[in-house]
A and B are shown apart, each in its own frame.
Chain A
Amino acid sequence: MTQRLADTFASARGAGRAALVTFITAGDPTPAATPAILDALVEGGADIIELGMPFTDPMADGPAIQAADLRSLAAGTTTADILSIARAFRERHPDVPLVLMGYANPMVRRGADWFAAAARDAGIDGVICVDIPPEEDESLGPALRDAGIALVRLATPTTDAARLPTVLNGADGFLYYVSVAGITGKQQAAQDTIEAAVGRLKAATDLPVAVGFGVRTPDQAAAIARVADGVVVGSAIVEQIAEHGADAPGPVRDYVQTLAAAIRAAAKETA
């Protein structure tokens, strides 16, 4: 259901703040450990969850998420495990949007229609596929739309004005702005560059714009929250899981709380 995503962004906007979008890799460090970590994200104040599908060859990811994918796969995580993690999350958290994020091959392995139906049945709201650009939309997009799942598209610093309409055509849920040309978790873009980019994107679409890549401190999250509809934090959370393993829920909750508090404080300042 794309409605949950729309409602969540609307409710955050109603509170005068940005939504906090948090990423973890499913099955890291084990499939059994993931539900408690997901709960910790919600308890810490995450508004939207991106659940990473681990892949052997995550070519757009930096060292932190690469290592998370390998930990998950080494623990034996399967597509069936990921779907059952999602289904159980949906039962525990009926109102929190859940977005699957990953690479094309695990998504299309059994056919796009199979994947879309399975994701819908598991209560998934949206899908981000790193390596299916608009040019290859037919590989996955139509199946997701038929299943009522939002295909979340990515815009990047290399997406120029001429290309942006191509990216927006068929985009749904929100627009994910990748703030640096690079891999996940590395450096963060300059604030003024992000502001200018978000301004350009918001002028071109009514979709909420969430900004990610390289966001790790509460100050950075707050700065982005002042200009964007959503702030995405991934690698920094995944590093907590790398450090604490199955004991990660506590530290993850505490860390996410600092991000959520900073975003709410930013809202009060601008209000």
Chain B
Amino acid sequence: MNAPNSYRAQPDERGHFGDYGGRYVAETLMPLVLELDRAYRAAKDDPAFTAEFEDLLEHYVGRPSPLYYAERLTEALREDAAPGKGAQIWFKRDELNHTGAHKINNCIGQILLARRMGKTRIIAETGAGQHGVATATVAARFGLPCVIYMGAKDVERQQPNVFRMKLLGAEVRAVESGARTLKDAMNEALRDWVANVHDTFYIIGTAAGPHPYPELVRDFQSVIGREAREQMQARAGRLPDLLVAAIGGGSNAIGLFHPFLDDPDVRMLGVEAAGEGLEKKHAASLAGGFPGVLHGNKTYLLQDEDGQIAEAHSISAGLDYPGIGPEHAWLKDIGRVDYISVTDDQALDAFQLLCRTEGIIPALEPSHAIAAVASRAREMDDDRIILANLCGRGDKDIFTVAEALGVAI
């Protein structure tokens, strides 16, 4: 395949990233998806919309998030690297955002769109609860009623986030259908949307779903990469050599990567969850899946030979989804971004490594990115720069980690 003139010109007007993306929704939703597209085009061109978005990111979310040189982690990894090896490791600190993850960037953008479209009710799906908390947060901030769909299994294992959402005034509906996890929550949110088309706005949490969601979520999350690009130029006087980010649906990764896609010397690495291993239960849609259609878009999916969707597994509930955003599917096929996967055990090791070397408790999602950073850094020269997205903090995960480490708390 020939390289395009720009990697940043996707999707086309029908929402296609190469063969991926699109608008695979029921007819009842199609007029809404088209209306959302029109509303988003108008908002993008409206300086008042951008100004309000940026104002909220600065004063409510706490942006820009810092760019941090992880000196002790860098030194620790150089200890067992060959002489002259061991790249500098920098983190984009999106775990310091209000609500503790990058998810809030997108929720601010979407609720401003909802208001602009005159919608009066908010719905969302959530897996671990981070997107649910971020959605409940912005719904409270703007005084809109909010219903969060969450798989019943996730409700059981993520009680602190369920309570947070309730404190924020959201109604949490436990989804008992299917496997009772994230994909079933998304099915149920779509069923709610189709039955409440006139007043309801669906805030999708990742860069997936029917067009224009993958594009608009990417655009709202691209604040991560734009800031990082400026900060890196200012601090190091040059661009990083390698970007690394964890991928479930892929919103934090595309947010970091997209502003750098046309910088030919910047390589990129997306890190999927290999769970118990690619031969066993995992959530690595690119490594272990095939292209197909689910939840409004065409993309890589974990599925069987008849197209039935498989259950994903990861220790990180935020990566526990059998699909991936369509732009990543395209970037994989054209080879602009490399994708690898990291197991539960490797992520747990990286989680503890960051705690002890930097005094930062990361979420299990970016722990996957940190594991990949650790192995790549040792192979790279010590004047090279790796920039990884620390997309969430680990407070929510301490119970899961304790259980995995055999500690009773």
Chain A residues close to B by CB (< 8 Å)? 55-60, 62-63, 66, 70, 73, 78-79, 103-110, 130-133, 135-136, 139, 153-160, 163, 167, 178, 181-183, 186
Contact = CB atoms under 8 A, between A and B. Distances in A.
B296 interface: yes
A131 B210 CA distance: 11
A130 B27 CA distance: 8
Contact of B308 (A55, A155, A181): A55
B293 interface: yes
Nearest to A155: B27
A183 B194 contact: yes
B175 to A, nearest CB: 11
A94 B197 CA distance: 42
B292 A105 contact: yes
Contact of A159 (B27, B187, B290, B307): B27
B191 A60 contact: yes
B24 interface: yes
A73 to B, nearest CB: 6
B293 A59 contact: no
A136 B191 contact: no
Contacts of B305: 109-110
Contacts of B309: 55-57, 105
B236 interface: no
29 contacts: A56-B178, A56-B309, A59-B186, A59-B191, A59-B295, A60-B28, A60-B194, A62-B191, A105-B309, A106-B308, A107-B307, A108-B292, A109-B290, A109-B306, A110-B305, A131-B24, A131-B25, A133-B24, A133-B27, A136-B23, A158-B28, A158-B32, A163-B30, A181-B28, A181-B197, A182-B191, A182-B194, A183-B195, A186-B195
B306 A78 contact: yes
Contact of B194 (A104, A160, A181): A181
Contacts of A66: 177-178
Interface in B306-354: 306-309
Contact of A109 (B29, B30, B32, B307): B307
Given A156-B27, A156-B28, A131 B307 contact: no
Interface of B: 14, 22-32, 177-178, 183-184, 186-187, 190-191, 194-195, 197, 290, 292-296, 298, 301, 303, 305-309
Given A73-B308, A78-B306, A130-B26, 10 more contacts: A57-B183, A57-B294, A60-B26, A104-B293, A105-B301, A154-B26, A158-B32, A159-B31, A167-B27, A178-B28
Contacts of A132: 24, 293
Contacts of A108: 292-293, 307
User: Does more than half of chain A's interface fall in helix, strand or loop, or is it mixed?
Assistant: loop
B23 A135 contact: yes
Contacts of B187: 57-59
A139 B293 contact: yes
Contacts of A155: 27
Nearest to A108: B293
Nearest to A140: B293
Question: What 10 A-B pairs come out closest when comparing CB atoms?
Answer: A109-B307, A182-B195, A106-B307, A104-B293, A105-B307, A156-B28, A59-B187, A59-B190, A56-B309, A154-B27
Which of A56, A73, A130, A135 has the largest count of B CB atoms less than 10 A from its CB?
A: A56
Nearest to A81: B306
A163 B293 contact: no
A158 B24 contact: no
A133 B190 contact: no
A133 B294 CA distance: 13
A178 B25 CA distance: 14
A183 B193 CA distance: 10
Contacts of A183: 191, 194-195
A224 B14 CA distance: 36
A162 B198 CA distance: 18
B27 A178 contact: yes
Nearest to B177: A66
Contacts of B191: 59-60, 62, 182-183
Contacts of A105: 292-294, 301, 303, 307, 309
Which of B14, B186, B197 has the largest count of A CB atoms less than 10 A from its CB?
A: B197
A133 B30 contact: yes
